[in-house]
Amino acid sequence: MIIAPTGGIIIDEKETKIRNFALRDKEGNEIGVFTGKSPRQAALKAANRGHSDIRLRERGTKKVHLFEGKRVQVDKPKNAPTWMTDKIWKPQVKKVGIEKLEDI
């Protein structure tokens, strides 16, 4: 973050870089898009929607990030609002590796 001479705040490009990741199935078809600053953040979003074998290709590159994902039910946090249910779903992912594609 940079403070401009006029007193305004200029946000550095690196701080706001949101990347797009295409979710691929086992055949290589792109079936959805998840966004995030990192591949892990996008994988957590995919896992929260029920995907377990997560293959994310970063848009504009030939890299495919491989994750194993699941959702587990946990107790709500102690500082949770009263309207929240006693159990909530929480995503978990584990990075398995990276593949490089020859063709997109």
Model pLDDT, residue 103: 76
- Asked if residue 15 is part of any domain, the answer here is yes
Give the chain's radius of gyration (CA, Å). 18
Report, as an integer, the average pLDDT of 44-48: 96
- Asked if residue 1 is part of any domain, the answer here is no
Q: In which domain, by residue range, is 39 found?
A: 6-100
Least confident of 10-14, 66-70, 94-98: 10-14
pLDDT at 91 over 90: yes
- Asked if residue 45 is part of any domain, the answer here is yes
Through-space distance between the first and last CA atoms of the chain, rounded to whole angstroms:
35
pTM recorded for the entire structure: 0.79
Residue type, 63: K
Mean pLDDT (the chain) is 89
Domains held by the chain: number? 1
Name the strand (E) or helix (H) holding 9. Answer: strand 9-10
Model pLDDT, residue 4: 60
